[in-house]
Amino acid sequence: MQIRAYLYLMAAAILVPVILFAGFSLRLIEGRESELARTQVAKAAQRAALLVDADLAATQAALRALAGSPSLARGELDAFYREAQAAVGGPDAWAILIDENGRLLFDTTASKGSPATDEAPPVYLSALLGAQRPFVTDLIPSQVSGRLMTGVGMPLRAGGRQYLLGVGHGADHFRQLLLGAGLPQDWQLDIYDRKGKLVASNLGPAALVGQDAPPELSTAETADGILALPLRSGVAGTVAFSRVPGPGWKLAAGAPAAALVP
């Protein structure tokens, strides 16, 4: 009996530390896997933010090219209309030209030859005309349709006149961009402007555009971060956010928490 008891004690002395170490190792592995999953969401937000920034930078490059058009310098607006229409590509995007009095000279979503409008200029126009370089707006109402849009604009002088040349983007422009980001279908990608308003999302109807960001997201002061927030579907989620470098917008990538469980 003494020998058997001794053997039991020896076995316990050997196995208990092994079991404890195995449990510790398992928790360590689970923690590392959880951290890797969070890192994956954070990197997705950063990549999507750079994707949006690259799209806006390409639009600004197109505006710079159009600004040097001889047609605009000569005041040949019909020819310049065709150039602008050809230069602005992608879904839900259009070119606009506004004069120094706020008169909309053309909008390429309208049929060619449509008359310029003499409606009162929007209140934000004077600030845009006074900008010294290309800019990206937050959500604003379209001067033609009234629907919410964002704009990339550039004030310029040509032929002795001052103009505001711009490209308008509807929500579907960025929605298509986000859908091409290559993320799982149940991951949520949202773009918020500097005021915390939803610009576009890969999930949900267009009616969501203009809604406020979750308070935890809108009040976050860091450029990047990770939050535990419910997704729009109602499921628990891990949401990483990253600043879009150019306009200072915020890109939020959300993954269902269940999908990240090791």
What does the pLDDT look like over 206-257, one tens digit per residue?
A: 889 999 999 999 999 899 999 999 999 899 999 999 999 999 999 999 999 8
Domain boundary pick from 170, 186, 215: 170
Residue in 187, 201, 181 with CA at minimum distance from that of residue 257: 187
Query: 137 and 215: one domain?
Result: no
Tens-digit pLDDT profile for residues 88-121: 867 799 999 999 888 889 988 864 444 455 555 5
Query: Is the per-residue pLDDT at 22 higher than 90?
Result: no
Q: Is residue 2 part of a domain?
A: no
Q: Is residue 7 part of a domain?
A: no
Q: What is the mean pLDDT of the chain?
A: 82
User: Is the backbone of residue 53 left (phi > 0), alpha (psi -120 to 50) or beta?
Assistant: alpha
Question: What is the reported pLDDT for 26?
Answer: 39
The whole-model pTM stands at: 0.81
Cα separation of 256 and 262, whole Å?
A: 13
Q: What's the domain count of the chain?
A: 2
125/158: higher pLDDT: 158
Query: 177 and 50: one domain?
Result: yes
238 and 41 Cβ atoms separated by less than 8 Å: yes
Q: Is residue 142 part of a domain?
A: yes
Domain boundary pick from 119, 154, 170: 170
Low-confidence winner among 32-36, 49-53, 91-95 (lowest mean pLDDT): 32-36
Residue in 202, 226, 216 with CA at minimum distance from that of residue 39: 226
Query: 166 and 180: one domain?
Result: no
Query: 158 and 207: one domain?
Result: no
Cα separation of 120 and 139, whole Å?
A: 19
40/251: higher pLDDT: 251
* Gyration radius from the chain CA atoms: 27
Question: What is the reported pLDDT for 102?
Answer: 84
Q: Is residue 114 part of a domain?
A: yes
Q: Is residue 248 part of a domain?
A: yes
Domain boundary pick from 142, 170, 198: 170
Q: Percent of the chain at pLDDT above 90? A: 57
Q: Is residue 103 part of a domain?
A: yes
- Domain around 73: 58-170
Amino acid at the residue 80: F
DSSP code string of 99-136? ETTS-EEEETTSPTTPPPB-PPPPTTHHHHHT-SS-EE
Q: What is the CATH number of the domain that holds 236?
A: 3.30.450.20
For residue 139, how far is the Cα from the chain centroid? 12
